[in-house]
Structure 1
Amino acid sequence: MPANSNKMWQGRLGGSSADEVDVFNSSISFDYVLYEEDITGSIAHARMLGKQQIISKEDEHSIVEGLQGILMDIKNGDLEFDPTAEDIHMFIEAELTDRIGNAGKKLHTGRSRNDQVALDLRMYTKKQIAEIKTQLLQFEKVILDKAQSHIHTIMPGYTHLQIAQPVTFAHHILAYGQMISRDIKRLDEVIEHTDVMPLGNGALAGTTYPFDRQFVADQLGFEKVTANSLDGVSDRDFVMDTVYALSMIMMHLSRLSEEVIVWCSQEFQFIELNDAFATGSSIMPQKKNPDVAELVRGKTGRAYGNLQTLLTMMKGLPLAYNKDMQEDKEALFDSIHTVKIALSAMIPMIDTMEVKADRMRDAASKGFINATDCADYLTKKGVPFREAYGVIGLLVQTCIKKAITLEEVPLETYQSLHYLFEEDIYEAIDLDNCVNKRNIEGGPSPKAVMQQMEQLNTQLNIDPKHLL
């Protein structure tokens, strides 16, 4: 009999399926990554079947030992995946039956691939989120370390990529620390949605066997079981939640990458990338390109595309399971892989980059970055802000015509524009004072920055001694 006519689901179908259908229908080429989850879930299922006396204890032990042997052989490289298998679930079950005989055929009792794959995917997603969270925590440590080293490093703050007001590099990099902190919280929320055990939902209507679903949930470390069998097998919200959260991570990494690309340009020279995280040119020997940052920026589109794929795939599906949902895996797997490799490259790149404090301060001294502080000087003496704003606008025009900075304007020129200007105006527009006086919560002053660092440490439940 042809191999493709001996399907476990053959049932009412006669003859063999077309080779083209077998190729189109197969998912083993990508869902093989679920092998550990599939085996672990099957072991828990077998133990439950034995506990509930649905199968004999002898069969239970035979199944569990057979599955453990398969898992060990795959990990050791002694068992290769069969590329002609339909999917990882059928491959494992067929291998088990070959090894232990008829007892292997009892494993699928009361179970459908619908709830089986939902279980595997939830287990896999939980594990991957935990690994990405660990990476994000590492990134947060790097950011906090950079901030600690540059609490007093003044740099320009920008809006519209135009010099706006003075901040510190610590303040700037901690903005990304806040983004990462939100990413971690977002992943925690995804875990909550994912941490629901679907086995026992069957194909869509549960099972007539006396399953102990909570036993399986406890065996596999799930918080609870699904409440509705139709929803349990057809819910992929947790996949879309995950890919959305990963898209947000990539968006944050892309924004930081854009800054890195700008900062290491000849025009800015705010940072110098370690040679290990830059590349050269095939024709221009002087080049040092920020390819890591550019790739992160480019790969962000993959995550966005995967999210759109999933949303489109699910938008018109009736209950319960539909084969369309096989498309969930490649999108999820790709987004997880993309985020993990992006973080693995970004973390050491930021950790090893050199921050050029002198260049940052020099840039901050230009572009009338202290103009707002100059206006605030008058406002604090009772001048309405809009009137003060107009005065400083005229003052900046004067500076531009004379090619001087606000610090270089003679006091008599200040006083010719408003009588309330006094000698202490120069203290008010000093860059260090401009930063230090912004001591409001969330501001760039050293005290405010330290509070932000402490907040991040608290949010992340990390002892500051391990970070700074």
Structure 2
Amino acid sequence: MTQPLWSKSGSAKQSELLDKITNFMSGEDIILDRQLFIYDVQASQAHAEGLARINVIQSSELKQITNVLQELSEQFISGELELDKRFEDCHSAIEWFLTEKLGETGKKIHTGRSRNDQVSVATRLYCRDALSQLKHQCLVVADTCLTLAKQHEFDVLPGYTHLQRAVPSSWGMWFAAFAEAFCDNASAANDTYHLVNSNPLGTAAGYGVNLELDREYTTQALGFNRKQINPMYVQNSRGKVELQVLGSFKNALLDIRRMAWDLSLFSTSEYGFIQVGDDFSTGSSIMPNKHNPDAVELMRAAYSTLVGAYNELESLLSLPSGYQRDLQNTKGALLKGVSASIQCLELVPDLLKSLTINVDKCEQAVDASMFATDKAVELVIEDDMPFRDAYRHIKNNYQELESRQAKDSIKNRVSPGACGNLMLHEISERLESLV
């Protein structure tokens, strides 16, 4: 391992105790940093350019640093350079590489910055990309649902409240509900993106430095829409930003959990409304007859992984102002929550396309009692009966109800957004406005 700057010369750093302490303090940091490394290199480049603008490094030195950082990125992407236990974290790896290649010039890269703002800016850049991926995946899910809503607009699906049969509904409404939900989720991801898109670089360890750092330049160079002004708040926002990001993912995963619950129920023999595609199903190790929707169930479970990461972060943040080493543990929770969520989201469109809808079984599940509300409204319109009187009349005279064509029922329900008037065009326009 590269020796930490704060190590005392002559200390027995290879001793068993020091190894235990180092492993405890660094843990999986270097492994986790593999997901942040390119962002850290990107931020190091912007920082070097900023130092050149205030003459801390010369233009010739900036050119050298730029070339080496480019080489470093290429070696990391190709796998030639691996982040391993030689390094405490990705920040020390970058400084080591620069120093190995450039000697004294390489040592200048850390002027005016701390590992505190270094990790903050790398994390912020990662969060921006994560939110962009979230928005994109939500829009793909929304578009898939909208397409399926049009395709199955008047295909019957029993509507349920309290898990009891209620009124005839449609697969068009079911898909349209999730289309609109994922438009909301994409919008929320976009809002969070703009909230966290602020530049912490140049605030050092939380109290600034005695250099006129060009923070406006690094803000523009890294594509941030503003700089985060107060250095102490930069440290206080560690974890808070990550919670905002994971909160956006929670919106989407909550809807996936509800969707997965529906599909799990609808695919049972008792319902028999759908069959999940073979690619998303498995058999049993002992029962040859099984066709289990395992992928659907694991999508339902994905929310628990995300909530676990969110709760880990939230419980960690009972801290005083300024940097505390506890904040190192925000990294693992963020990366785990984001990775698990994106992995789940990417599968949803193909899952939905794989569904086979048993139209006949859905129509057979609609019985005469489910037309009670339709009949009550008809009494209001045709007999000028107050709705409460119509309600009681139907309640006390179920024998008057008779089976109808469920498709007629859903086509007649024309209130805005209802089965006969899904307003898919308006949802489509909103989706397009979010792209």
CA change 1:12–1:322 in 2 (3 A) is farther
Paired letter, 1:435: I
2:235 paired with 1:238: no
Paired letter, 1:434: S
2:11 paired with 1:10: no
- What per-residue deviation string (whole Å, max 9, x for no partner) do you get for residues 272-326 of structure 1? 1111111111111111100011001112111111111111111x21111111111
Paired letter, 1:175: A
Alpha-carbon deviation of 1:432? 3.2
Paired letter, 1:375: A
Which protein shows a greater Rg?
1
Alpha-carbon deviation of 1:436? 2.2
- Distance in 1 of aligned mates of 2:410 and 2:345: 32
- Distance in 2 of aligned mates of 1:44 and 1:345: 36
Alpha-carbon deviation of 1:12? 10
SS of residue in 2 equivalent to 1:439: coil
Aligned twin of 2:415:
440
2:49 paired with 1:54: no
Contact 1:25–1:86 (CA under 8 A) maintained in structure 2: no
Contact 1:234–1:321 (CA under 8 A) maintained in structure 2: yes
- Distance in 1 of aligned mates of 2:10 and 2:329: 25
Alpha-carbon deviation of 1:388? 1.8
Aligned twin of 1:424:
none
Paired letter, 1:370: F
Aligned twin of 1:375:
376
- Distance in 1 of aligned mates of 2:426 and 2:9: 63
Paired letter, 1:276: D
SS of residue in 2 equivalent to 1:368: helix
Aligned twin of 2:308:
305
Paired letter, 2:402: E
Aligned with residue 46 of structure 2, among 44, 47, 52: 44
TM-score by length of 1: 0.87
- Distance in 1 of aligned mates of 2:258 and 2:45: 44
* Larger deviation, residues 107-116 vs 22-31: 22-31
Paired letter, 2:160: Y
SS of residue in 2 equivalent to 1:375: helix
- Distance in 1 of aligned mates of 2:174 and 2:209: 56
Aligned twin of 1:211:
213
- Distance in 1 of aligned mates of 2:299 and 2:328: 28
Paired letter, 2:94: I
Alpha-carbon deviation of 1:43? 0.5
Contact 2:368–2:402 (CA under 8 A) maintained in structure 1: no
SS of residue in 2 equivalent to 1:350: helix
Once the two structures are superposed, the pairs formed by residues 99-248 of structure 1 within 5 Å of their partners are 99-235=101-237, 236-248=239-251
- Distance in 2 of aligned mates of 1:13 and 1:392: 91
- Distance in 2 of aligned mates of 1:250 and 1:239: 16
Alpha-carbon deviation of 1:346? 2.0
SS of residue in 2 equivalent to 1:118: helix
- What per-residue deviation string (whole Å, max 9, x for no partner) do you get for residues 133-175 of structure 1? 2222211121111111111112211101111111211111111
Aligned twin of 2:272:
269
Contact 2:50–2:214 (CA under 8 A) maintained in structure 1: yes
2:383 paired with 1:407: no
* Larger deviation, residues 381-390 vs 215-224: 381-390
2:323 paired with 1:321: yes
The gaps in structure 1 that reach 5 residues or longer are 400-405, 409-428
2:432 paired with 1:457: no
- Distance in 2 of aligned mates of 1:68 and 1:111: 20
Contact 1:373–1:434 (CA under 8 A) maintained in structure 2: yes
SS of residue in 2 equivalent to 1:158: strand
SS of residue in 1 equivalent to 2:110: coil
Alpha-carbon deviation of 1:50? 0.9
Alpha-carbon deviation of 1:462? 6.2
- Distance in 1 of aligned mates of 2:64 and 2:235: 28
- What per-residue deviation string (whole Å, max 9, x for no partner) do you get for residues 401-429 of structure 1? xxxxx226xxxxxxxxxxxxxxxxxxxx6
Identity across aligned pairs (percent)?
28
Alpha-carbon deviation of 1:367? 5.5
Contact 1:38–1:120 (CA under 8 A) maintained in structure 2: yes
Alpha-carbon deviation of 1:233? 2.6
- Distance in 1 of aligned mates of 2:293 and 2:433: 31
Paired letter, 2:356: E
- What per-residue deviation string (whole Å, max 9, x for no partner) do you get for residues 160-193 of structure 1? 1111111211111111112111111110111011
